[in-house]
Structure formats: structure tokens, C-alpha cells
Amino acid sequence: MTKEEIEQLLQKIEDLKVQKLQDVEDIRVKLLGKKGEITKMFEEFRSVLPEQKKEFGQKLNLLKTKAAEKIEALRENFENGQIAGCSKFDFTKPGDKFELGTRHPISLAREEILNIFGKFGYAVAEGPEIEDDWHVFTALNFPPDHPARDMQDTFFINPDSNDPILLRTHTSSVQVRTMERMPLPIRVVCPGRVFRNEAISARAHCIFHQVEGLYIDKHVSFADLKQAILLFVREMFGPDTQIRMRPSYFPFTEPSTEVDISCNICGGKGCNICKGTGWLEIMGAGMVDPNVLEASHIDSTKYTGFAFGMGIERIAMLKWQVNDLRHYFENDVRFLREFQSVI
Ligand code: PHE
């Protein structure tokens, strides 16, 4: 044993690289095992000349410590997966699942409704959620003390003012703004959030969403209204869907109607969704009252029009069989994930 041999071995140990965990153990045996190189050197140490013992002793001890440290470091690195090419990472394993977000069902339904009317040539019009009395009521033929104002419980921002400001109760207000601003003919759909002072339950909410539509031109008839609704519901709920129109009342339309579709669950035979009737109510509609046209300076002797309005929550409930309105507002991811495949 020479000093050079000890130094060379020390250098070799410092440069050691391994491919697998077993290699670390092999190296340990080769260096420090019973017949290992270092063990052997310690045996040879016995025959080192006394005057060289101190120097050899120090070198050998250093070698042994370094070897033990290196082996320990290799094993640790190996276990942490830090050595290129010999990590524990299994590249063949399937990756961690990446959670995709979902679009909210109200957005999905809103988009689908607007797309369908878009194909029929309807533009999209939007307006403010905070409105004045004129656009929500007066221009829509609600006289000041008309009982129809009680039909919708309204959130007033300044209840005692003579010039009330309020949260809109329907997006018909946007139709008024469109009639005031846009040239004729008009063909628009008005999506938006609306507010009514109602107790929250499975079937009612104080905030919900509507899409209302308005078509004004010369010679627009009730038959046009019926056909537009029929085409819409067949696109939305399937080609076999039937419609039924029941007489109704709205201050802004005359005649007025409420529209039902044949139940898309039982096909009209009667089930618990349609409560055995075979029909589901989906919207209000009617011919625009001449007073409404005149309030927006449209000549009602030359022009006629129809309007309709539907709740997006209601349409989405019927399309996807959601049984509680509150799901739409709670944003429980388990509910939202149900719509991943709809996107
Ligand atoms: N504005 C009515 C509502 O909010 C819906 C409707 C619109 C009815 C247009 C008839 C015509 O209930």
C-alpha cells in the first residue's frame, strides 16, 4: 500500500456514479465489506513502518469516513429520485388527472338560446340591471296604479322617491331601450339578470335570468309569433316537441299567451315532472300592445310586433332535469361537474 494508492482510491470514491440502488450496496461491500479494498488497507496498516503510521493512519481514516459518507449520500440521493436516469419516477404511469373547470349551466343554456335565435336573425341587446320606472313599467303600459304592478314584487333603491330607481324585474326594459334607439325593423333577444322580491325556494328565487325577444316590422302577426316559438322549442328540446298556447294577460302585450311545451320526459303521456298533464310551461308571449309601440314613438298604425320572455333557469331545469332552482346559485362543484359533458 502506498500513499498514492490511498489518494487514487479517495478520488475514485468521490467520482462514483450509480445506476440503481443495488449498485450502492455493491460498492459498500467492495470498499468496506470484510474483503473490501479499504478493509484490506487497514489490515496492511499493521505492517506500516512506525514512523509512517501517523500519516498513513490519518489518510486511511479520512478514506474510510469519505467512503461511508459517499455511500450514504448516494443512497439518499437515489431515494429522493435526484440522479438522472435512476430516479424512482415511473414515466410509464398515467399522469395525475387534471381537473377541468365547467361552464355554468345558466351560461350554457343562455348561449344555446341566443345561438338558436341568432340563426333566425335576432341580434343580442343588453341593458342596465338598475333601471328607472319608465323602462320597467310605464313605457310598458303599466299605469301608475295599475294592479299589474303588483304582479312583480320589486326591489326599489329609493322607495320614497317620486322618481323611482329599481332593480329590473324583467328584461322587457331592454326591449324598450331598443325601441327608443334602434331603427325599424327590430329583431332582438335580450338576455340578462332580473330581480324580484320573492322568498327563495326550490321553485322561486329573488335573482334569476331571462331571455326576452322582440320583433317589430310591418305585417308581423300572431302566426309569426307561433312559428318563431315552435322553431325555437324544437331546436332547444328536440324535433318532436309540441307547443300549446293558453290565453294570458300582460300589460305590454295584447293578446297575451303563456306557452307550454309537450313534456320532454314522458313525451306528453304524463309523468311527475309535468304533474301528469303532459305539458310544461316555458314562457310568456304576445303581440306588442299599440300603447307600448307609441310610448317609444313607433307608429302603431304601420307597425306591429310580437314579444316573448322566458326564464333561463326554467329552460335549463327542463332541459337537464334539475329539480331545485337553488343549485344554480350555490356553485357546488358536484352539481357543476354534471355539466362537463354538455360543453
Ligand atoms: N316580461 C314578462 C315576464 O317577465 C315575460 C313576457 C315578455 C311576456 C314578453 C310577454 C311578452 O314575466
| pLDDT tens digits, 245-268 | 999 999 999 999 999 999 988 888
How far, in Å, from the CA of 213 to the mean position of ligand 1? 9
Element (H, E) at 45: helix 37-45
Q: What number does the ligand 1 atom closest to the CA of 284 have?
A: 8
CA dihedral 329, 330, 335, 336 (to 10 degrees): 60
For the cut 80, the answer to whether the pLDDT of residue 203 exceeds it is yes
Q: Ligand 1 pocket: which of 136, 174, 252 to mutate (most atoms <8 Å of CB)?
A: 252
Decide whether any atom of ligand 1 lies within 6 Å of the 168 Cβ: no
Q: Ligand 1 pocket: which of 153, 170, 188, 248 to mutate (most atoms <8 Å of CB)?
A: 170
- For 25-83, the pLDDT digits (tens) are 899 999 999 999 999 998 998 888 899 989 988 998 999 999 999 888 888 876 665 55
For residue 20, what pLDDT is reported? 80
For residue 271, what pLDDT is reported? 85
Q: Which residues touch 44 (CB under 8 Å, ≥6 apart)? A: 1
For the cut 70, the answer to whether the pLDDT of residue 85 exceeds it is no
Least confident window among 117-126, 269-278, 309-318? 269-278
For residue 98, what pLDDT is reported? 80
CB 258 within 8 A of CB 281: yes
Q: Report the chain's terminal Cα–Cα distance, integer Å.
A: 77
For residue 148, what pLDDT is reported? 54
Residue 235, C-alpha cell as written in the block? 331546436
Residue 296, C-alpha cell as written in the block? 317609444
Its pTM surpasses 0.95: no
